[in-house]
Amino acid sequence: MLADRRIRAGVNMDGGIYGPVLERGLDRPFGIMMGDALAGAYFHVRVFRSNLRGPRPLVDYPGVGHKAFADNVWLVPQLGLDPVEAEVGTVNAATTVRLQNAWLKRFFDRQIKG
């Protein structure tokens, strides 16, 4: 988004925030979804959010591991793996995906559609 003005809004789904955008920020809407994994990097999130000049909603999902923002949330239980060791967390897959989808839809409906 920093280099491409055509992108009107964006979301970081439990990912790291690096590079010049951390200090320069953005002037368009940018939301952040956090799970337990990103909590350790909250300093970077705070710095980044302080440099944002557009809407900057933040949602924190307790008990959600980093890989619960990907297909692993469905695959780990089916494979019989330990969800905590597999970085999915202690969450129900259907509930987690429903909450994430609802938040993303609200965010982009508000920021893109108006």
**Amino acid identity, position 55:** P
Positions in the chain short of pLDDT 50: none
Q: Exposure pattern of 55-83 as b/e (b: 16+ CB <10 Å)?
A: ebbeeebeebbbbbbeebbeebeeeeeeb
Q: What pLDDT, on a 0 to 100 scale, did the predictor assign at position 37? A: 64
Q: What pLDDT, on a 0 to 100 scale, did the predictor assign at position 15? A: 86
Question: Helix 93-108 crosses helix 72-79 at what angle (to 10 degrees)?
Answer: 170
Q: What pLDDT, on a 0 to 100 scale, did the predictor assign at position 38? A: 63
Q: How many CB atoms lie within 10 A of CB 101?
A: 10
Q: What pLDDT, on a 0 to 100 scale, did the predictor assign at position 39? A: 62
CA distance 30 to 9: 6
Q: What pLDDT, on a 0 to 100 scale, did the predictor assign at position 109? A: 97
State if pTM tops 0.85: yes
Q: What pLDDT, on a 0 to 100 scale, did the predictor assign at position 32? A: 95
Specify which residues 89 forms β-bridges with: 64
